[in-house]
Homo-oligomer: A and B are copies of this chain.
Amino acid sequence: MTNEVKESFTSDAPPAPAALAAKVRTLAPSMTRSMQRVAEAVAGDPAGCAALTVTGLAELTGTSEATVVRTARLLGYPGYRDLRLALAGLAAQQQSGRAPAVTADIAVDDPVADVVAKLAYDEQQTLADTAAGLDTVQLGAAVTALATARRVDIYGVGASGLVAQDLAQKLLRIGLIAHAHSDPHLAVTNAVQLRSGDVAIAITHSGSTGDVIEPLRVAFDHGATTVAITGRPDGPVTQYADHVLTTSTARESELRPAAMSSRTSQLLVVDCLFTCVTQRTYETAAPALAASYEALAHRHSPRTR
């Protein structure tokens, strides 16, 4: 997928974009010795030269400022200043060009910067996968149930427990009665209270976490609308789920536990649920959101700057 610019490099074109190395080679024969040294340095290390001032580059190449400027002119720029800008652009381009190392697995001896890049890339990938795999019909159905729910109970343990709490926090903000349960016993005890018109949501990556399935089953048996957010749409949990929202499952490794990407995926689903419910109940949700925002403002110290 290369899209090349059609700047002719032979004629007196406006500032050249990235075909600089080629231009240097083309024009080299018509250059004097000193100018060739400058051109060579520029073509060899664009990034390094971009950091240098005229004087710096002159010293580096053992020439004078005048020669540097002359070279810049010959290459088609109005002066050194513009050559330098082009150089910076070129450097940035070939900098971003080499980044395929990202796809590799995270190694024990990866430098910090690589870890950051790889993790970010992975989570981006997870998001894309999740969005692509999310069934909007199921999502819409879940949203409808939530929008009219009398009460919402959310079950999740471990890492999924945090996602459950996140969803509960959000739903509370728009005026819904939502509660997240991490304690399996309490969850079941509460599930008994649910009835038709209520919503129960189970969040489990494996789809087979008994502590989460059990309360969902109880809620299901009591007539509540049940939703499962899971990475295993064929897992046991879906038996008791009216609507199933599938999260993506990324490859994992020792330094990249499954909990990481499953959490990312679950959160996206949760955000989608929340946003859609907010849309659906906008009349009541908007003021509630504004109010909660306002209430929080006072918890921040006024000294901002």
Contact = CB atoms under 8 A, between A and B. Distances in A.
A18 B276 contact: no
Contacts of A293: 257
A268 interface: yes
Given A272-B119, A300-B209, A301-B213, A165 B162 contact: yes
Interface residues of A, number: 92
Interface string A82-97: 0011101111110111
A236 B301 CA distance: 8
B211 A18 contact: no
A6 interface: no
Interface in A243-273: 254-257, 259-260, 263-264, 267-268, 271-272
A120 B127 contact: yes
7 contacts: A88-B88, A96-B97, A115-B275, A239-B304, A254-B289, A256-B275, A267-B267
Interface of A: 1-3, 17-18, 29-30, 50, 56, 59-60, 84-86, 88-93, 95-97, 106, 108-113, 115-117, 119-120, 123-124, 127-128, 130-131, 134, 136, 139-140, 143, 157-159, 162, 165-166, 169-170, 206, 208-211, 213, 234-236, 239, 254-257, 259-260, 263-264, 267-268, 271-272, 275-276, 278-279, 282, 286, 289, 293, 296, 299-305
The 8 closest A-B pairs by CB, nearest first: A89-B92, A120-B131, A85-B88, A236-B304, A208-B300, A88-B88, A112-B136, A124-B124
